[in-house]
Structure 1
């Protein structure tokens, strides 16, 4: 799939067994108690958000984040992929398809795009639209939930860039996507 000169980035927390949410979308295991949860500052979320100029998320992710009360993305332009969402939320723009999202990113002069939400991440990966993956594995097994990864059209080659252990035992690894499934290289 064609795109402009932007790079797609994933920055996401997950359980050790690869889940990004419980089946009911609950994130209690991720936020945990203050003593065992990784500090977002230590994890580098603020630094990451300073790099980002656009964001794309799916409808489910938007609904979850919107329920937090505090909007964590500041003035970053946020596109929400949904065929059904009707919203007057001034913080977002609803797009109905991947093609529409890509056109908006290109037209908006995007350079660094934060891609969030399981289905959206999988779609962007399959299309070769992700440049980096920053995965923070929280030391918990939740057994049943919503996995970040699923089937892909071809192997996606990654190059390890960095791994660090965060407060509370979370392990954060950053990878560069280096080959197929649409290929960003």
Structure 2
């Protein structure tokens, strides 16, 4: 069984929309595109190089596919992230695309949740999801995410697509590790760890 890991840039107020450029995703009038770029330093680049080296495949939504397919093929040969992105098998979730042309890309068909479950039943290294906000909501709603690598940037934008939207399945996460980049990005790794546990606290409970 392959694990599915989500790697996401997110603002401190929970927005994941368009971290990489002004015109990446202007849906719903979003005008804060590129909010992550001033905080991308050598440490973040080293981290992303290491993370992508662990991938056995990519799973992306249509908008992220469009952005990646237009940019990563332009990377210089020998670029460690570009070489990895271009060479990996890529699975694309889209209701509007008929074909995909980026090297080693496959368009998923039929029920998306069933298709992802089938991918996870295969052999190989982890399946990584980068960006892909709409796809991520479907994966969370069907409890298909095994691990989360969150890069929380010290930025507030106030509006935009949220990492955890309506439909997220309740669950407990186990914290694995946290580091902080020189530019103030908090990088945390979480693993799915069963059902939510509940309790009560206050003077009347003795748990205070």
* TM-score category, normalised to shorter length: 0.7 to 0.9
From the two aligned structures, give the one with the greater strand fraction.
1
> Structure 2 matches for 1:162-177, cutoff 5 A?
162-177=177-192
- C-alpha RMSD of matched pairs (Å): 2.4
- Tell me if structure 1 keeps the 8 A contact 2:26–2:33: no
> Structure 2 matches for 1:16-35, cutoff 5 A?
16-22=12-18, 24=26, 27-32=33-38
CA drift of 1:153 comes to: 5.3
Tell me the number of residue pairs that the alignment of Structure 1 and Structure 2 aligns: 172
Q: Which of 79, 89, 99 is the matching residue for 1:77? A: 89
TM-score by length of 1: 0.80
Moved more, 153-162 or 165-174: 153-162
The equivalent of 2:54 in structure 1 is: 51
Query: 1:146, 1:176 → 2: CA distance?
Result: 23
> Which of structures 1 and 2 has the larger relative contact order (alpha carbons within 8 angstroms, sep 6+)?
1
Secondary structure at the residue paired with 2:95? Answer: coil
Q: Which of 113, 116, 122 is the matching residue for 2:127? A: 113
Structure 2 unaligned residues grouped into runs of 5+: 19-24, 76-81, 197-208
Larger Rg: 2
Secondary structure at the residue paired with 1:125? Answer: helix
Structure 1 unaligned residues grouped into runs of 5+: none
- Tell me if structure 1 keeps the 8 A contact 2:140–2:169: no
